Amino acid sequence: MSFSDPASVAVVGASDDPAKWGHWLARGALSGVDRRRVYLVNRNGNPVCDTETYPTLAELPETPELVVLAVPAQHVPGVVEEALAKGARAFIGITAGVEPQTIAAIRAAGARILGPNCLGLFDAATDLHLAWGRFEPGVLGIVSQSGQVGLELAGLAAQQGLGVSRFVSVGNQADITAAEALEDLVTHDMTKVVGLYLESFADGTSLLETIATLRKHGKPTVLLTVGESGAAQEAARSHTGALTSSMDVVDAACRHAGAIRVVTPTALVDLASFLAVTTSPAGKRTGIVADSGGQGAIAADLAAAHGLVIPVLSAEVTAQLPLQASTRNPIDLAGAGEQDLTNYASAVEALLRSGEVDSVVLSGYFGSYGADTPSLEPAEVAVARRIGAAAHETGVPVVVHSMREESATVRALKASGVPVQHTIERAIAALAAASRYTSGRPAIPVAPPPVESPTYAPGYLNARALIADVPFPDARAVSTVDELVQAVEELRPPYVLKADWLEHKSEQNGVALGLIDPVPAFEEMQARLGPGGYVLEEMDTRRDVVEIIVGARRDPGFGPVVLVGAGGTFTELYRDTAVELAPVSVPEALDLLRRLKCAPLFDGWRGATPVDVQSLAEVVASVSAVLAARPDLSEIELNPVRVGPDGALAVDALIIPSGESPNETSGRRVA
């Protein structure tokens, strides 16, 4: 209760200067004086906000349950020492630059601190206002790593009429984490939807578990984050590392936990406004109603661009439309709405009750009639309520784009559980994002128990041994011409010759294909690359194969992830990939593979024979499970895996152990 409803609060650094943090915090704290005791500490003892102050914490008549630190960084250690000596056990660190020793002292005393370098805390349910800025009470819980971004979200929420239930600026997360702040929202009755802004995911697993718990309690989380850069990928040693962007992993985490990622503060609040008043659609089919052909067409184009589906309507549905309305989707009322406002409700109701759409978009002038012609306001408001009632009855959400930003009808729509946006692009974007909320996976992957398997050693053959469940071509280790000749007798031509120790064989001419007599190639390669371990392998010459990369890596925030993509030497050129948290089951691996743009190749392209996708999915599941069960491994990569009608065969493998720098050079030889 110390950070949600403390019995007493002390603001250290309280000021009567409206330009200073100490003034905002003092004024905010005093707004809750009817609920708790508020003490203002000012070293000069001057009154602040017409309220007496105390020169030091030691002079307070009691131990404050929550202490707010708003003094310069050089004074924080002394204030903390004084507060701990008095028995305080909860702090909000507004000040930046607080030394680690001070944080350590707080934790050693069994106390907790929010921040430091944070904007503060607000809770509408308990009249707790210990933050810069003003907050309109509402239903959006905000947890933000950036105070300013959090404040922007709060401002946008006020404009949308959404309001804020709780605001937590976690700052540097030196002690209290974002996951802990989110956990407090699970039982926070005022919070209906959560907005989360994060710049890092050091505690990714706990975060996912908390978001999943929020989802179970009917509180969706909308995530805004940053960090889509190629810096980490440029330093990667493997194709998997180079192809797996930070946002790929975050999106995979969101799918499992049941969160939705957006890219702007406006998009976060728009989606939160949708989810706060209505249900997310059960699928991507949407029906569009407009009283203008142009507006309906624009809505349809935007919906398609966002991945929504505009189905053709049955005759049973179109028969219920006004006579002059178009009978296709989008539905153009063609003036019927102006002739009789109830036609808007009739058209929307026909779609809602059809079973042929998962959502409805109403776009255009509706919401403006009563504002422009006051005599029409009662009728338009009644239609708005009728639309809201039908959406509630059917469980199919309706989103309205109204040319009027504010009107009695717009207010009636929102009050009836119908989200409204002033632009069609924002309405469609929120609807499309909400449709993704239903497609999340129900469970966060759990790593299998560690298994006994060969200890890691570098090289291609050792990599094959570590992932024994994956099929590879028959091969032999060779280091001399005599061993090569013996291997030729045991294997079927044509052959592939590889320098076992090279991580990227093609780039260093460490692989030779299609050999009938491998001796000349071996002698040339050995002379150029030096003595070491080489591999003679049977070459996969099957027709109608598809080459896929299968990789798994350990993300520092979210743990094991698995990647599939278009494989071979053009992997990084195509950049056709899909990512999930690992391990994945075979059915999940099949779904992952079907998300690739190249997936139609699996079914036979231009007369080719369909390939055995099931065997490929088994390879994906196996690789993901091995990495998840082996904390000593950082990455596993098979590129390519050649899958044909008769099964999958991996023809190259790379394993990187944990603890090695991604910049560590490849090219180690195995004698």
pLDDT band, very low/low/confident/very high, at 232 (cuts 50, 70, 90): very low
Tokens linked to 313: 């309507």
> What local confidence, expressed as pLDDT, does residue 30 receive?
97
At 441, the pLDDT band (50, 70, 90 cuts) reads low
Q: What is the pLDDT of residue 670?
A: 30
**Whether the predicted pLDDT of 239 surpasses 60:** no
Judge whether 220 and 275 are in contact, CB under 8 Å: yes
Which CATH architecture describes the domain 474-538? 2-Layer Sandwich (3.30)
Q: How far apart are CA 210 and CA 170, in angstroms?
A: 16
* % pLDDT > 70, the chain: 94
Taking only the tens place, the pLDDT of each residue in 473-514 is 999 999 999 999 999 999 999 999 999 988 878 778 999 999
Start-end of CATH 3.30.1490.20 domains in the chain: 474-538
669, pLDDT greater than 60: no
Q: What phi, psi does 552 have (nearest 5°)?
A: -140, 140
Mean pLDDT of 518-546: 94
CB 445 within 8 A of CB 628: yes
Q: Residue 662 pLDDT > 50, yes or no?
A: no
pLDDT at residue 204 in the model: 86
> d(Cα 624, Cα 566) in Å, to the nearest integer?
17
Range name among 27-36, 147-156, 501-510 with the lowest pLDDT average: 501-510
Q: What is the pLDDT of residue 241?
A: 55
pLDDT at position 245 is 60
> Using a CB cutoff of 8 Å and minimum separation of 24, what contacts does 57-63 make?
57/10, 57/12, 57/82, 57/83, 57/86, 57/88, 58/82, 58/85, 58/86, 60/10, 60/86, 62/8, 62/37, 63/8, 63/87, 63/88
Q: State the pLDDT confidence band at 202, using cuts at 50, 70 and 90.
A: confident
Q: Is the pLDDT of residue 360 over 70?
A: yes
Whether residue 376 has pLDDT greater than 90: yes
Say how far apart CA 152 and CA 417 lie, in whole Å. Answer: 25
The CATH 3.40.50.261 portion of the chain extends over: 276-439
Question: Given CA atoms 515, 516, 517, 520 in this order, what sign does their dihedral have?
Answer: negative
pLDDT score at 450: 67
Instruction: State pLDDT tens for residues 384-403.
Output: 999 999 999 999 999 999 99
What pLDDT does residue 74 have?
Answer: 95
On average, the pLDDT of the chain sits at 91
Distance CA 257, CA 655 (A): 29
The model's confidence at residue 244, banded by pLDDT at 50, 70 and 90, is low
Asked if the model's pLDDT at residue 667 lies above 70, the reply is no
Q: Residues of 411-435 as b/e, b for ≥16 C-beta within 10 angstroms?
A: ebbbebbbbbbeebebbbbbbbbbb
CATH of domain 8-135+151-241: 3.40.50.720
pLDDT above 50: residue 234: no
d(CA 551, CA 565): 9
Report the SS3 class of residue 421. Answer: strand
Tokens representing 347 are 């058209």
So what's the pLDDT on residue 230?
47
d(CA 286, CA 330): 9
φ, ψ for residue 120, nearest 5 deg? 125, -155
Answer positive or negative: Cα dihedral of 605, 611, 614, 620. negative
Q: Which residue stretches of 535-665 are H helix?
A: 571-574, 586-594, 613-629
Q: Lowest mean pLDDT: which of 242-246, 504-508, 578-582, 644-648?
A: 242-246
Residue 632 pLDDT > 80, yes or no? yes
Higher pLDDT among residues 324 and 9, named by residue: 9
Angle between helices 265-277 and 424-436 (to 10 degrees): 70
- What integer is the mean pLDDT of 79-86? 97
pLDDT digits (tens, 9 = 90+) for 86-96: 999 999 999 99
Place 668 in a pLDDT band, splitting at 50, 70 and 90: very low
Per-residue DSSP letters for 76-119? HHHHHHHHHHHT--EEEE-SS---HHHHHHHHHTT-EEE-SS--
Q: Give me the DSSP letters along 452-486.
A: --PPP-SSHHHHHHHTTTS----EEEESSHHHHHH
Residue 335's pLDDT band (cuts 50, 70, 90): confident
> What is the rounded average pLDDT of the residues 520-546?
94
What residue type is assigned to position 219 of the chain? K
Q: Using 50, 70 and 90 to split pLDDT, how confident is the model at 39?
A: very high
CATH entry 3.40.50.261 includes domain 276-439: yes
Can you tell me the mean pLDDT for 151-168?
Answer: 97
Q: What is the pLDDT of residue 231?
A: 43
Band (579; pLDDT cuts 50, 70, 90): very high
Residue 671 in this model has a pLDDT that exceeds 90: no
Count CA atoms within 13 Å of residue 191 on its CB side.
28
What does the pLDDT average to over 195-206? Answer: 89
Range(s) within the chain of domains with CATH label 3.40.50.720: 8-135+151-241
Distance of CA 25 to the CA centre of its chain: 33
Q: Report the C-alpha gap between 625 and 582 in whole angstroms.
A: 7
User: If residue 189 lies in a helix (H) or strand (E), which one and from where to where?
Assistant: none
Res 442: pLDDT? 55
The residue count for the chain: 671
pLDDT of res. 646: 96
- Count how many Cα atoms sit within 13 Å of the Cα of residue 190 in the half-sphere of its side chain: 20
Checking if the pLDDT of 236 tops 60, the result is: no
Average pLDDT over residues 273-277: 96
